[in-house]
Structure 1
Amino acid sequence: MTFLVGDVGGTNTRLALADASGLRSDTLLRAPNDDHASLLDVIARFRDEQDCAGVDAVCIAIAGPVSQGRGRLTNRDWHICAREVAAMVGAARGVLINDLSALCYALPQLSPEPISGTARPDNNRQSLVVGMGTGFNVGLTKPGPAGGITVFEAEMGHAELPASVRDTLSASLGTAAAGFTTVEDVFSGLGLARLHEALCGRALSGPEIMQGYVTGQDREAAATITLFARGLGQLSRALICQYLPGAGMIFAGSTARGILGSPALNAFAEAYLAPGMEVVRPADIPVSVITDDGAALHGCLHHLMQAG
Structure 2
Amino acid sequence: MVETVLVGDIGGTNVRFAVARQGFAGHPVISDVSVMPGDDFADFDDALIAYCESLGDKKPTRALIALAGPVSDGHVKLTNRDWVVDAKRLEANCGLETVRLVNDYAAMARSIPELPDSHFKLLHDGEQEAGGRQPILVSGPGTGLGMATLLPVGQSGWRVVTGEGGHAAFAPATPREWALYEALKDKHGYVSSELVLSGSGLNEVHKALCRIDGVAWQEIPPAEMLKRAREGDQICNDICEIRARGTLYALGDAALMNGTKGGVVITGGVAERLADWLEAPAALERFFQRGPMSAYMKPITIRLLLAGEAALVGAAALYFDEVSLQ
Q: State the TM-score, normalizing by the size of structure 2.
A: 0.85
Q: What is aligned with 2:128?
A: 120
Total equivalences in the alignment: 303
Q: What is aligned with 2:33?
A: 28
Instruction: Output the CA distance in 2 between the equivalents of 1:68 and 1:276.
Output: 42
- Structure 2: runs of 5 or more not aligned: 212-216
Which deviates more, 186-195 or 175-184?
175-184
Which deviates more, 184-193 or 10-19?
184-193
Q: What is aligned with 1:12?
A: 14
Aligned ranges 1:1-308 → 2 under 5 Å: 1-21=3-23, 22-25=28-31, 27-53=32-58, 55-110=60-115, 111=117, 112-121=120-129, 125-145=134-154, 147-162=156-171, 164-165=172-173, 169-170=177-178, 172-173=179-180, 175-178=182-185, 179=188, 181-201=191-211, 202=217, 203-214=219-230, 216=231, 218-259=233-274, 261-266=275-280, 267-274=282-289, 276-278=291-293, 281-308=296-323
SS at match of 2:247: helix
SS at match of 2:64: strand
Q: Which amino acid aligns with 2:87?
A: A
Instruction: Output the CA distance in 2 between the equivalents of 1:28 and 1:207.
Output: 25
Instruction: Output the CA distance in 1 between the equivalents of 2:10 and 2:34.
Output: 12
Which deviates more, 247-256 or 77-86?
77-86
Which deviates more, 237-246 or 176-185?
176-185
- Asked if 2 retains the 8 angstrom alpha-carbon contact of 1:119 and 1:246, the reply is no
- Asked if 2 retains the 8 angstrom alpha-carbon contact of 1:53 and 1:90, the reply is no
Q: State the TM-score, normalizing by the size of structure 1.
A: 0.89
Tell me by how many angstroms 1:278 deviates.
Answer: 2.4
Change in 2 beyond 3 A, CA 1:230/1:263: closer
Which deviates more, 90-99 or 295-304?
90-99
- Asked if 1 retains the 8 angstrom alpha-carbon contact of 2:229 and 2:236, the reply is yes
Instruction: Output the CA distance in 2 between the equivalents of 1:280 and 1:11.
Output: 38
SS at match of 2:61: strand
- Asked if 2 retains the 8 angstrom alpha-carbon contact of 1:212 and 1:218, the reply is yes
- Structure 1: runs of 5 or more not aligned: none
- Asked if 1 retains the 8 angstrom alpha-carbon contact of 2:244 and 2:277, the reply is no
Q: Supply the RMSD in Å over aligned alpha carbons.
A: 2.4
- Asked if 2 retains the 8 angstrom alpha-carbon contact of 1:105 and 1:300, the reply is yes
